[in-house]
Amino acid sequence: MEKSPPNQTDSKTRLKQAVLAMQEMRARLVAMERARHQPLAVIGLACRMPTAANTPDAFWQSLCDKVDAIRDVPPDRWSLVDYYDPNPDSAGKVVTR
């Protein structure tokens, strides 16, 4: 049995379906790319820094002014003898005061 040549209407229909499928795939790809690169929003911020930088604005100003805010931990916060050891190999201790 001999095959008849494809109908022109069938070819146009298949072509339209292929174009629609490609458009749908492109839309899905764009959506997936957007999902991977969603913007980040900071919705809260708090500060507790040495010196008077206890607000985000004050902290930023300290950074701009190049303030040296490094201080020893106050003795009322935790016992230095319980946690500090200048030897970095000491287990369970910190090397910063």
Report CA-CA distances (Å) from 41 to 11, 46, 77.
50, 15, 33
How high is the pLDDT of residue 5? Answer: 62
Q: Give the pTM.
A: 0.38
CA dist., res. 49 & res. 96, Å (int) = 16
The whole domain housing 12 covers 7-39
Instruction: Tell whether 57 and 16 lie within a shared domain.
Output: no
> How many domains are contained in the chain?
2
Instruction: Tell whether 20 and 34 lie within a shared domain.
Output: yes
Span 51-84, pLDDT tens digits = 777 888 888 898 899 988 888 888 888 888 899 9
Instruction: Tell whether 34 and 50 lie within a shared domain.
Output: no
Question: Lowest-confidence range among 5-14, 24-33, 55-64, 85-94?
Answer: 5-14
Report CA-CA distances (Å) from 58 to 47, 48, 61.
9, 10, 5
